[in-house]
Structure 1
Amino acid sequence: MFLIYLRRELRRRRKAALVVASGLALGIALVIVVNSVSTGMQRAQGDVLESLYGLGTDMTVTKAADPASEGGPARPRFNFDAQDGEEQQSNDFVMPQGFQTLAADTVDKVAGQSGVAAAVGGLSLTVVKVDGEFKPGEFQPREGGPGGGGGSTGGPQGEVRGGGAAFDVDSSTVYGTDTTHQDLGPLTSSRITDGRAFTAADAGAKVAVVDAAYAKEKKYRVGGDLTLKGTTFDIIGIATADSGDAAADLYLPLKQAQTLSDSKDKITTVYVRADDSQQLGAVEETIRKNIPGTTVTSSADLADTVSGSLSTASDLAAGVGKWLSIIVLVAAFVVAGLLTMSAVGRRVQEFGTLKALGWTSGRVTRQVAGEAMVNGLVGGVLGIAVGVAAAYTVTAAAPSLTARLGAAAGGPGAPGGGMFRGGGPAAQAADKAVEIGLTAPVSVTTIALAVGLAVTGGLVAGAFGGWRASRLRPADALRRVE
């Protein structure tokens, strides 16, 4: 009887039911879109940070910045060993990024700290290649000198004119990776798309893996070679970054990178994985306390320095978007409840007559609540359909967002200060903007939330209508009879 009466009443009042369901659908769809976009923002931010930290890395350890009174980090000096008669010059200057290095045994110290599961050292370098030529000046006699009919004697009767220098400067980045421990560090955020990766046997070999974008620019290929500071390296692989820009243009075995930069037994960064990702704060504090002279930076710290349109959109989604969805949802619930109450008010004769025929107040209330619950579920289905379609549209369109690390914010991550002072891939990326395509993935959790909201909306509307229906009396129906 309950279902028969429910179906008949919903069919008879389908326009009113559709209005209630549509209001709930709007609120539910907005919640789905906001949650999906927020999830997409978090993934995009993770993609930006992944190229710096590498897969599985929880934090990095770098050398602490020198006090300002000590003059800060050293500045690069370019010295040319030009010889007489040589006009063409070509020099490679290889320097640790940030000009700050740690002793290689810092890796073992970090690995021995409580809560640390693994620690791997790396050396990040900047290579500045200077190509050009010196053009010597030419001696030209002065007018009136010897043969010119005048001038003093006993000294040069002329001057050197012309000459100069023209140089082309090109820079690239190199990351020295520990080939015996490749499960941590920036190289893990790229995949080998041609050739092979490093092996433990490559620790002392003169081999290189080249980033795909840099290889295309310089026309490098697997099986070819490249030269850095007079040393030739065989190219064994091409690596393509999974997202964003690569952490470095070239990857070399750590020992070779140390030799190139005259940084024997030195590293710029220690990449750390914690035993428990929920205890990163405690591990960070332990390392900072037990290993003085270092700066410990977690992925959460670096995430706070992300700026650009990605950060702006993320703030809007987290702030305005969530509050807007809550306001719309509450409004939809209230409107659904009021419309249900209004519908009950128009059915006074009907419910009064049913009570006169023996229906109890509880049965009438359940009938109204059942109708409201169905309206809520219909609204939930419509809302899920609209929300998923909108999220899919965002993913298909993939609007482009930019993210800048540290430097754009002018905060502690800016080059020459704060967490990037110690060098490493973070220093390289501090002044680099990364472009990310936004996605809006819809998770099972989001769908479950939508269903829960639909049920809640039905219950709220049913509570309003049921309360009104329970107060009706058979006499109310008789008073309405003409």
Structure 2
Amino acid sequence: MFTLTYLRRELRHRSRQALLVATGLAVGVGLVITVTASTGAVGSAQTAVLDTLNGIGTDVTATAKPPPNGDRDHAPSDSRARDASTPGLSVAGGASMDASTVDAVARLAHVAHVAGSLVLSEIGPPPAGSAAIPTTTRIDGIDVTRPGLGPYTSATLRSGRSLSPSDTDSRVAVIDTRYAAAHQLRIGSTLVIAGIRFTTIGVVDQPAASGAASIYLPLAAAQQLPAGQHAHALAGKVSTIYIAATSAADIGTVGAELAALLPSATVTSSRDLAEAVSGSLASATALAHDLGTWLTVGVLLATVATASLLTLASVTRRTREFGTLKALGWTGRRVITQVVAESAAIGLAGAALGVAVGYCGIGLVNAIAPALTATVDDPTGTDSQNVAVHLNVHTGTGTIAAATLLAITAALIAGAIAAWSITRLQPAHALTATE
């Protein structure tokens, strides 16, 4: 009881010094929270971009590669790119693989899930009253019996329903909101693709990216579409295979296995895709990784050093006080306990104030952070995909708990250093010291 009473009296009597130490801790804690949250937001933004481009949960993508230009004239007609000026359908990228390849990939030892898709481009006549520029519609035939992988998983259903395994042999379609608005389509509207009629059953909203499909069809229905004059039938074909590895550690192994299994395909892992991201998001990611790490370490060291110096200076002014207490019978352990208890109380106050400073910093970053952009080349090689990214900086209970522990630890270290220095003095010397 006496210790608590003495602790409360000393903190109230030396409130200015305690507030100064707590403020130093709060600044450090607030900076750590802000930097950590901002770094996490940039990492989350990059993950969101990869999910948008590659699909949620997709670790590796295998894309059919068109033959070299020199061999294009002798390549099978089903793998040739069509003339973009000729109305009709073509496989995006100009190459496809047998659908049986999907089953072969699924049998690999380190593959957890796999799904194939057939990405098509439909060249249509130019809009009435516009220049003679044909329109291009991106169509993605997805395997509805193997959901969960591919760009379609990043879409959010706005109306109607999504594609399901029961739609395998149905002529139904899910369309993007922008495509629906541009063509005045709604649930139940009829779509005509290469002369085949499809019924719209759902409308989805997708992150803004030029590579997002405007129309999603069941894979079997897409394979039944008539290909253009430069291509054979699409039956039994896929253009892209999306793979989820059994674990993050197996992604490299899966990439190597795919390269051996599909030597003519382009194999892209999530890491390759992340390295291919350019634009301001890539710069922010590199800056957050390099500068953020060093800044956090620097702030931690500065916080501990500042708290130690301020606490040591405060305790040094109390040399006669502690000398008197030791002369009255206080042991060195009791003096250390008293100083450390005061430091712990100041650390708690600094943690609470630092959390408030951290939230203010997060709010400031959200208010002034500019929109970022990311550009990634499409795996098919047909175009580049541009994504606008808005940072959503926030923190969680784990970060708050770590920041609180940081403040208390820094205060305890500072108190322990100061207490150790004061207990080295003999009572007689301490009593003769001037405050």
| TM-score, normalised relative to structure 2 | 0.89
Q: What is residue 417 of structure 2 aligned with on the other side?
A: 464
Residue in 2 aligned with 1:45?
46
Q: Which residue of 1 aligns with 2:169?
A: 204
Partner Cα distance (1:380, 1:219) in 2 = 56
In the alignment of these two chains, the number of paired residues is: 421
> In structure 1, what is the equivalent of residue 120 of structure 2?
125
- Please tell me whether the aligned partners of residues 6 and 371 of structure 1 are also in contact (alpha carbons under 8 angstroms): yes
**8 Å Cα contact 2:7/2:342 also seen in 1:** yes
Distance 1:451 1:58 in 2: 36
Alpha-carbon distance change, 166 to 379 in structure 1, aligned in 2, over 3 angstroms: closer
> Conserved in 2, the CA contact under 8 Å of 1:47 and 1:244?
no
Q: Which structure shows the higher helix fraction? A: 2
State the distance in 1 between where 2:149 and 2:431 align: 81
For 1:238-277, what aligned pairs fall within 5 Å after superposition?
238-241=203-206, 243-245=207-209, 247-258=212-223, 259-261=225-227, 262-277=233-248
In structure 1, what is the equivalent of residue 99 of structure 2?
104
> Structure 1 residues 363, 56: closer, same or farther in 2, change over 3 A?
same
Q: How do 1:13-162 residues align onto structure 2 when only pairs under 5 Å count?
A: 13-64=14-65, 66-67=67-68, 70=71, 74=80, 76-77=82-83, 92-131=87-126
Q: Give 1:226 shift.
A: 2.1
* Change beyond 3 A, Cα 1:70–1:19: farther
Query: Take 2:430 and 2:38, find their aligned partners in 1: how far apart are those partners?
Result: 51
Q: Which residue of 1 aligns with 2:230?
A: none
Residues 286-323 of structure 1: CA deviation (Å, up to 9, x unaligned): 22223432232222221121222222222222222332
Q: 178, 195, 209: which is aligned to 2:160? A: 195
Query: Structure 1: which amino acid aligns with 2:31?
Result: L
Change (3 A) 1:232 1:460: same
Amino acid across the alignment from 1:260 = P
State the match for 1:161 in structure 2: none
Quote the residue 1:448 is aligned against.
Answer: 401
Aligned partner (choices 392, 402, 408) of residue 439 of structure 1: 392
CA separation of 1:194/1:432 partners in 2, compared to 1, >3 Å: closer, same or farther? same
Distance 2:290 2:127 in 1: 54
In terms of mean alpha carbon deviation, does 244-253 or 447-456 score higher? Answer: 244-253
| 1:342 lines up with 2:313 in the alignment | yes
In the TM superposition, residue 445 of structure 1 has moved relative to its aligned partner by 1.8
Task: Give the letter for the 1:446 counterpart.
Answer: T
1:154 matched to which residue of 2?
A: none
Match of 1:297 among 264, 268, 285: 268
Amino acid aligned to 2:120:
L
Q: Please tell me whether the aligned partners of residues 84 and 123 of structure 2 are also in contact (alpha carbons under 8 angstroms).
A: no
Instruction: Measure, in 1, the Cα distance between the counterparts of 2:72 and 2:222.
Output: 27
Please name the residue that 1:357 is paired with.
Answer: 328
Partner of 1:139: none
Q: In structure 1, the residue corresponding to 2:384 is in which secondary structure?
A: coil
Counterpart CA distance in 2 for 1:17 and 1:187 is 56
Cα distance in 2 for residues equivalent to 1:78 and 1:401: 32
Residue 332 of structure 1 and its aligned partner are, at CA, apart by 2.1
Secondary structure of 1:295's counterpart equals: strand
Q: In terms of mean alpha carbon deviation, does 378-387 or 269-278 score higher?
A: 269-278
Q: CA 1:298–1:343 in 2, change beyond 3 Å: closer, same or farther?
A: same
The 1-side partners of 2:258 and 2:48 are apart by 26
One-letter code of the match for 1:222? I
Confirm or deny: 8 A CA contact 1:129 1:169 kept in the other structure.
Answer: yes
Contact 2:66 2:93 in 1 (8 A): no
Q: Equivalences for 1:160-171 in 2 at 5 Å?
A: 167-171=132-136
Q: In the alignment, which residue of structure 2 is the partner of 1:319?
A: 290
Asked if 1:401 is matched to 2:385, the reply is: no
Within 2, Cα distance between the matches of 1:111 and 1:453? 47
Tell me, in whole angstroms, the C-alpha distance in 2 between the residues paired with 1:176 and 1:198: 11
Paired with 1:309 and 1:96, the residues of 2 have a C-alpha distance of: 31
Are residues 477 and 167 of structure 1, via their aligned partners in 2, closer, same or farther at CA, if it must alter by over 3 Å? closer
Displacement of 1:269: 0.6
Structure 1 residues 39 and 367 mapped into 2: Cα distance closer, same or farther (>3 Å)?
same
Cα distance change, pair 350–130 in 1 and its aligned pair in 2 (3 A): same
Q: CA deviation at 1:273?
A: 2.1
Query: What's the offset of the Cα at 1:439?
Result: 0.8
How far did 1:453 drift? 0.7
Determine if contact 1:60/1:297 at 8 Å carries over to the other structure: yes
Could you tell me whether the CA contact under 8 Å between 1:309 and 1:403 is conserved in 2? yes
Contact 1:25 1:379 in 2 (8 A): yes
* Residue range with higher mean Cα deviation, 246-255 or 213-222: 246-255
Contact 1:53 1:186 in 2 (8 A): yes
1:214 aligned residue (173, 176, 179) = 179
2:91 and 2:120 in contact (8 A); partners too: yes
Give the counterpart letter for 1:34 in structure 2.
V
Contact 2:340 2:415 in 1 (8 A): yes
Report deviation, 1:352: 1.2
1:388 and 1:474 map into 2 onto residues whose CA distance is: 46
Please tell me whether the aligned partners of residues 31 and 361 of structure 2 are also in contact (alpha carbons under 8 angstroms).
no
CA distance in 1 between counterparts of 2:350 and 2:85 reads 74
User: In structure 2, the residue corresponding to 1:472 is in which secondary structure?
Assistant: coil
Contact 1:404 1:434 in 2 (8 A): yes
TM-score using structure 1 length: 0.81
Alpha carbons of structure 1 residues 52 and 132: separation in structure 2 relative to 1, 3 Å: closer
Residue 8 of structure 1 aligns with an amino acid whose one-letter code is R
Q: Deviations over 1:254-309 (max 9, x none)?
A: 23323233322211111112233332222222222234322322222211212222
Opposite residue 135 of structure 2, the aligned amino acid is: D
Moved over 6 A (4+): none
The amino acid of 1:182's aligned partner reads: P
SS at match of 1:180: coil
Contact 1:288 1:296 (C-alpha < 8 Å) held by counterparts = yes
Q: Which moved more, 1:346-355 or 1:68-77?
A: 68-77
Counterpart in 2 of 1:224? 189
Moved more, 210-219 or 275-284: 275-284
Q: CA RMSD in A?
A: 2.6
Q: Structure 1 counterpart of 2:401, which letter?
A: A
Equivalent residue for 1:383, pick from 354, 365, 375: 354
Greater C-alpha Rg: 1
| Aligned equivalents of 1:357, 1:199: Cα separation in 2 | 82
What's the % identity of the aligned pairs?
Answer: 39
Structure 2 spans left out of the alignment, 5+ residues: 74-78, 228-232
Specify the code of the residue in structure 1 equivalent to 2:111: V
